[in-house]
Amino acid sequence: MEVIQKEWGKIGDKPVISFTLANDKGIKITCLNYGGIITKIITPDNKGNYENIVIGFDKIEPYLNNLSYFGAIIGRVAGRIKDAMFDLNGKTYILNKNENNNHLHGGLKGFNRVFWEPEIVQKEKEIAIQLSYLSVNEEEGYPGNVEIKVTYSLNNNNEFSISYGAISDQDTLLSMTNHTYFNLSGNLKRDILNHVLKIKSDQFLELDEELIPTGVILDVTNTPFDLREGKLIKEGITSNHLQIKVANGGYDHPFILNTHNDEEIMLWDLESGRTLTIETDELGVVVYTGNQLKENDMYGVSLRKYLGICLETQGLPDAIHHPNFPYYILKPGEKYSSNTIYKFSVRG
């Protein structure tokens, strides 16, 4: 196993560096120090073809001003915070607004737009990149100086894990995720409509017209959100269910997971046989089927609706505004910890 490092160019005077984690089975995962962006994941299909299974680019420009967060670390808080404000310990915090009157995915300069300090970590059974960042007090309006470490590691069992750790010197909010768009067809040759998605979840969150949770927790039974036995994405998004329409003809919803470290999320492509199994210690997962992707030939990638699916393991979005949602305040002296494992395999 090895890590290959390459300089991609500069943003201002800062070098953008890519790191490719390669295991002994041919799996390769490339990420950047900028935004922790995952730009490529190479895995085999059922004919032994090694191809890329994410939406990504091989130059920095398309990542600079896109609102799709391709492959990026998301934070301080993933999802939307209504009215870009919250109360904590009797004080009101005003966050930067970057989507109408709301705060999305960490604001104007979220974690997807900062430089992370990289460190290569070679262990006996895995290779890793540890990315560190200090989010200073009042960054984007959040309280506290927060030291964050995100570790991407790959082993020879074709397991890729993302581990998040953080400490803060004040009470603050933190709920991070990764925003990779998966497409298991290989080199984006098809969209995700013929992927099957299976999620061990009995409940999902109702969204309003701004895609913010209303606070209502809905049962998946007899809805296109019942993914417990696996469902073709095409079948789900062609439903006339109101919540599919609210999300612009797709999924963009948080699911509350029934179980953890129990193959709780599975995605597979019928034609290539590629299978992605995700296990997490997070409470939920936001499923986003790329409903807002606009037709656009961007640096060799023909973007379009449903070209990729995000499976953003995280706490419940806008939880701070909903007493019935568990939410997490990171307190001084405590350690934020979140782990998600992505297992790549092939079925016949």
Q: How far is the CB of 292 from ligand G6D (least distance, A)?
A: 4
Nearer to ligand G6D, 68 or 275 (CB): 68
Q: How far is the CB of 47 from ligand G6D (least distance, A)?
A: 32
Query: Taking CB under 6 A as the rule, does residue 70 contact ligand G6D?
Result: no
| Residues acting as catalytic residues | 179, 312
Q: Helix (H, G, I), strand (E, B), or coil: what is residue 235?
A: helix
Query: Taking CB under 6 A as the rule, does residue 182 contact ligand G6D?
Result: no
CB-based burial label for 139 (10 Å; 0-12, 13-18, 19+): buried
Contact mark string toward ligand G6D, 265..304, x via CB under 6 A: -----------------------x---x------------
Nearer to ligand G6D, 44 or 79 (CB): 79
Taking the C-alpha atoms of residue 14 and residue 16, their distance in angstroms, rounded to an integer, is 6
Cβ partners under 8 Å of residue 238, min gap 6: none
Closest CA to 279 of 262, 257, 254: 262
Size of the site for ligand G6D (CB under 6 A): 6
Where on the phi/psi map is residue 228: left (φ > 0), alpha (ψ -120 to 50), or beta? alpha
Nearer to ligand G6D, 32 or 286 (CB): 286
Query: Taking CB under 6 A as the rule, does residue 68 contact ligand G6D?
Result: yes
Query: Taking CB under 6 A as the rule, does residue 63 contact ligand G6D?
Result: no
Which position among 29, 77, 211, 227 is part of the footprint of ligand G6D (CB under 6 A)?
211
Taking the C-alpha atoms of residue 39 and residue 57, their distance in angstroms, rounded to an integer, is 6
Q: How far is the CB of 236 from ligand G6D (least distance, A)?
A: 16
Kindly state the helix (H) or strand (E) to which residue 243 belongs, with its residue range: helix 242-246
Taking the C-alpha atoms of residue 74 and residue 251, their distance in angstroms, rounded to an integer, is 19
Q: Which residues form the interface with ligand G6D (CB under 6 A)?
A: 68-69, 211, 252, 288, 292
